[in-house]
Amino acid sequence: GIQVEQSPPDLILQEGANSTLRCNFSDSVNNLQWFHQNPWGQLINLFYIPSGTKQNGRLSATTVATERYSLLYISSSQTTDSGVYFCAVDWGKLQFGAGTQVVVTP
Amino acid sequence: EAQVTQNPRYLITVTGKKLTVTCSQNMNHEYMSWYRQDPGLGLRQIYYSMNVEVTDKGDVPEGYKVSRKEKRNFPLILESPSPNQTSLYFCASSGFPISYNEQFFGPGTRLTVL
């Protein structure tokens, strides 16, 4: 099966800091999504991004499908950004990475 | 509002007592699936359905059953729950083919089996 690796596994940020999360995948994929799981457990769609760059407020994502990676940028982080960030790739079925646990401190 | 709903949100039960977790979507999606999330293992697919009366096993189907009698509903059935099925469960839906459609997730069901 396809391998999906996210880095770093954990990230502690001070409010206002910027950060980059990475998702590497081992084979060609049809699409890629980023999700945020908030502290209450809810999974929230952030980006559907098979290739290219998208932005939504302080968040943006870039997928370079030919090089098999995607990046999620968090700018001017806020405490509400805390939670786990997952990337999931589709190669006929959806395969999730293990996630990056983000803690933003005041 | 387009959404995926799950019930119950929280459930504590005992070993062997049959239970059903319901899932419903209002987006007319063909594809629906169930996942479980466990610490350190991420989300793993249990079962999926590509349309009414069409279901298939995911990565971890043992101990679970599903049915798809209506397009909008996809219940997950645990006929004899065991403690190793304690987990956080998510239902998801999307248009078909899933390769070109965004997946939408329900709010999750936290199940504890004693």
pLDDT one-digit tens code per residue, B15-24: 999 999 999 9
B103 with A33: Cβ contact below 8 A: yes
A94 with B33: Cβ contact below 8 A: yes
- What sign for the dihedral angle of Cα B94, A26, B89, B109? negative
Paired strand residues for B73: B24
d(C-alpha A24, C-alpha A3), whole Å: 8
Whether B99 contacts chain A with CB within 8 A: yes
Name every chain A residue with its beta carbon within 8 A of the beta carbon of B103.
33, 45, 88, 94
Q: Are A93 and B48 in contact (CB under 8 A)?
A: yes
DSSP-assigned letters across all residues of A1-44: ---EEEE-SEEEEETT--EEEEEEESS--SEEEEEEE-TT--EE
Name every chain B residue with its beta carbon within 8 A of the beta carbon of A33.
102-103
B42 with A30: Cβ contact below 8 A: no
Residue A93 has pLDDT above 90, yes or no: no
Cα of A17 to nearest chain B Cα, Å:
26
pLDDT at B98: 80
Whether B95 contacts chain A with CB within 8 A: no
Q: Which residue of A has its CA nearest to B94?
A: A94
pLDDT at A92: 73
Whether B34 contacts chain A with CB within 8 A: no
Which residues in chain B come in under a pLDDT of 50? none
Whether B108 contacts chain A with CB within 8 A: yes
- Mean pLDDT within A50-68: 96
d(C-alpha B32, C-alpha B38), whole Å: 20
pLDDT at B11: 97
Residue A99 has pLDDT above 90, yes or no: yes
Q: Which of A41, A92, A99 sits opposite B110 (nearest CB)?
A: A41
pLDDT at B54: 94
> Within 10 A of B36 (CB to CB), how many other CB atoms are there?
23
pLDDT at A90: 86
d(C-alpha B44, C-alpha B49), whole Å: 15
pLDDT one-digit tens code per residue, A14-42: 999 999 999 999 998 889 999 999 988 88
pLDDT at B42: 84
Whether B8 contacts chain A with CB within 8 A: no
